[in-house]
Amino acid sequence: MKSLSAFLALLAPVQAGLRFPCSTLTFQRLDPVVQPGSLPASHVHHIVGGNAFNATMEGDVGERASCTTCQMSEDFSNYWTATLYFKHPTNGSYQRVPVVPVQPLLGNSNGAQGGITVYYTQFDLSKDNLNKQAVKTFPPGFRMTVGSPAASSRPHVGLTYQCLSGNSRGAEMSDFPTKPCTGGIYTTHHFPACWDGVNTDSPDHQSHMFNTINSNGFTNAPACPASHPVRVPQVTYETTWDTTKFNSMWKSGAPNPYVWSFEGTGGYGTHADYMFGWKGDSLQRAMNKSECFYDGCGSITKQAMATANQCTVKDMVGEVTTGWLKSLPGTM
């Protein structure tokens, strides 16, 4: 029996949690969490998810959106990070770094265009442990951020950079790579797993959450404190920035030429924003289910990425964010 179960574990690991691609929705200078109503906001974001995305977002997003760039068709949430730019080492011009799907590394892009791979895990990647730890999902209107563009020290655990080459992702680092990466730069953002259970937001967009995560990777977060007792799904974003066309302009020994869209030259300011928008109780149904596999879960529905790719939002800011730019959008 023992050897049979070991064999089955190898053959079909129970991969607890959702993992799915969301194609790029837009690159715009908008931030309905940190700068609601600002049109434009201070820096360019790379945004995926539902088409209710707007300069201001209130109430039940899942009821207002009509399409999503995510594979899970009931997920109208929006997920975004700052955008990576290459800063030309001699003339100082900027060019936005393209985004490619994360999955080719893992053997399947599902047809995503650019985008972010999103995870909602219940425990870790090999079990759900729902008997010990109930996971409660977010209410309509919920939002949070992790990391900060104003950070002046190395990002905390869970916010990482990796230098891709071949099939290797390389070590998880807390700063930009120091040499060209033939396969691009891979960024990961793990959000906190403990919520105060009351507030859908807080003035700094973080203090309604509590970060107990003490190691990188998909490990179960330690127990939640009394102040933030509610265990929520562990949300993670993965993004692959395709730096290959810039590699030849990064001369050997020269410093890192990549900057975040807020002119963040150190790796310090890496950050991500989350706007909950699952329709009805769909995310809770998924999280209640044991053996909620990587890309499918019980009754929640998926769509073809060819359909997801047709979901768009208007260009609300109307500025050029790509090609060679003399300055980063918003910094003049």
Ligand X SMILES: *[C@@H]1O[C@H](CO)[C@@H](O)[C@H](O)[C@H]1NC(C)=O
Q: Whole-number minimum distance, CB 237 to ligand X, in Å?
A: 23
Q: How many helices (H) and strands (E) does the chain have?
A: 4, 17
CB nearer ligand X, residue 172 or residue 263: 263
CB nearer ligand X, residue 88 or residue 179: 88
Q: Whole-number minimum distance, CB 107 to ligand X, in Å?
A: 32
Distance of alpha carbon 122 from alpha carbon 274, whole angstroms: 17
Q: In Å, what is the CA distance from 109 to each residue of 20, 57, 142?
A: 10, 30, 29
Distance of alpha carbon 152 from alpha carbon 268, whole angstroms: 6
User: Residues 6 or more apart from 295 whose CB is under 8 A from it?
Assistant: 18, 19, 20, 71, 110, 302
Q: Whole-number minimum distance, CB 266 to ligand X, in Å?
A: 23
Find out whether 88 and 318 touch, Cβ atoms under 8 Å.
no
CB nearer ligand X, residue 18 or residue 164: 18
CB nearer ligand X, residue 38 or residue 165: 38
CB nearer ligand X, residue 70 or residue 159: 70
Q: Whole-number minimum distance, CB 43 to ligand X, in Å?
A: 20
Chain positions contacting ligand X, by CB under 6 A: 52, 54, 88, 91, 93, 134, 281, 284-285, 288, 324, 326
Q: Whole-number minimum distance, CB 233 to ligand X, in Å?
A: 12
User: Containing H/E element for 163?
Assistant: strand 159-164
Find out whether 198 and 232 touch, Cβ atoms under 8 Å.
no
CB nearer ligand X, residue 206 or residue 284: 284
Q: Whole-number minimum distance, CB 39 to ligand X, in Å?
A: 9
Distance of alpha carbon 44 from alpha carbon 5, whole angstroms: 49
